[in-house]
Amino acid sequence: MKSEPDEFGIDDLERVQQEPWDGVRNYQARNFMRDQMRIGDGVFFYHSNCDVPGIVGLATVATESYPDPTAFDSDDKHFDPKSDPENPRWYLVDVKFERKLKRTLSLRELKEHADELEGFRLIARGNRLSVMPVEKAHWDYVLGLE
């Protein structure tokens, strides 16, 4: 799961411990949260749009998916008038802090392992998804780099 550290970084997650991953307005990313995430699933916390983009920490999925309340709030910047509480368009899960990595596993470094990480969407060209699945083999390999 990606986040911009200026907006909400790993230090913010450590401080609050658990956070609703609201504001996602991309259907693919929504589908991953709504349909595939289960409580206890591991999460790579990725910093995007910053000096050193990369994986900086670990989290876990803390809740089942539920409708994103910010979509119903006209004062919220993620308000979506097309999302009806009777038929919500956007879903999210809560994410719970696990730990920071000992060091940042930068995108640059991860790309150096393209052979072992083939199919890992994070390092795929043109990838813009903020939420994406990680295969077990890729998860283990990435953690082995720490």
Partner DNA sequence: GCCAACGTTGGC
53 binds DNA (CB under 7 A): yes
**Footprint of DNA on residues 77-106 (CB under 7 A)?**
none
Binding-site member from 12, 18, 27, 39 for DNA (CB under 7 A) = 27
**Footprint of DNA on residues 118-137 (CB under 7 A)?**
125-130
Using the CB atoms, write b or e for 90-125: b if 16+ within 10 Å: bbbbbbbbeeebeebbbbeebeebeeebeebebbee
- Could you tell me the smallest distance in angstroms from the CB atom of residue 75 to DNA? 18
Amino acid at the residue 90: W
Half-sphere exposure of 93 (CA within 13 A, CB side): 26
Q: Give the footprint of DNA on this chain (CB under 7 A).
A: 2, 4, 26-28, 48-50, 53, 107-108, 111, 125-130
